[in-house]
Chain A
């Protein structure tokens, strides 16, 4: 089964961190990504630009409404994701727990919906 591991964390706090802490975090993520690759479970992974770079779009009465900012203003923002392919939820949870994001934010684990929809 494929699971999306979503990393939610406080962007402001991350940006306020000093260079040494940022470097340590990057190293932790690189090691984690490498571990996923080694295990042969990584499908895709990306880091997102901050929520301040987000644009929200929706169609209302046939007109496109474009708004500045993320869909929801929350204390923690979606900062990146890992898409992994593992046998079951317990394995997905153990990978989510190993992600650096689990120690300074929250990981959300969502199964991918496979056809038929």
Chain B
């Protein structure tokens, strides 16, 4: 497991997972599809990198592969939505193929989608943990003391809702921002609080460490407009 390829893949996953999911999902509203495409891209990396070497920009490499997987999936659906999605992704792919360095960071938009008032309040924090940090349903379930199957179902339902109801991946306008920011902060709170369920830190194998969660709090603090409550709750 200490092989450099594994290290590079793990490092890319840790740094870029949420960013890549946000980028892919924001353009299609298909969170589940983005997750599938990205995990296929990681699988391809573990096969390809030992042979071809680790790319200069692993994040951009993963995004390109994941985007192609999503285009393939959209084509296979042969639906109106699927065709529109495939075209949109292909256009973007053509535009950005040579422009690896600049992958826009849509994670804040993703968090606002996860904590949208139209999403069931109990699944907002779990959904954030899964989409921005890449935890699987079983790990999240154990942190929230819910049966894994139940948590899996809730997450699937929430992702379907995002897609079907047309929940946008964006920071809301000024008029709604304060109210909507509160729901995001509540979800971050809930996610963060779960980290202290194991105060002695004895179960570090599968548990969600506060350090990883605080990562999401830290960049939401960076991205958000000034709000007194925010600085108090994200500390």
Contacts and interface: CB of A to CB of B under 8 A. Distances in A.
Contacts, number: 29
Contacts of A114: 80-81
A1 B166 contact: yes
B167 interface: yes
Nearest to B116: A89
A66 B123 CA distance: 42
Interface string A65-76: 000000000000
Contacts of A115: 79-80
Nearest to A114: B80
Contacts of B81: 114
Interface in A81-100: 87-90, 92, 94
Interface in B17-44: none
A111 interface: yes
Contact of B167 (A89, A94, A116): A89
B79 A111 contact: no
A89 B79 contact: no
A87 B79 contact: no
A116 B168 CA distance: 22
Contact of A111 (B80, B165, B172): B165
B91 interface: no
A111 B164 contact: yes
Contacts of A89: 116, 118, 165-168
Interface of A: 1, 3, 87-90, 92, 94, 111, 114-116
18 contacts: A1-B166, A3-B166, A87-B166, A87-B168, A88-B168, A89-B118, A89-B165, A89-B166, A89-B167, A89-B168, A90-B168, A90-B176, A92-B166, A111-B164, A111-B165, A114-B80, A116-B79, A116-B80
The 3 closest A-B pairs by CB, nearest first: A88-B168, A1-B166, A89-B166
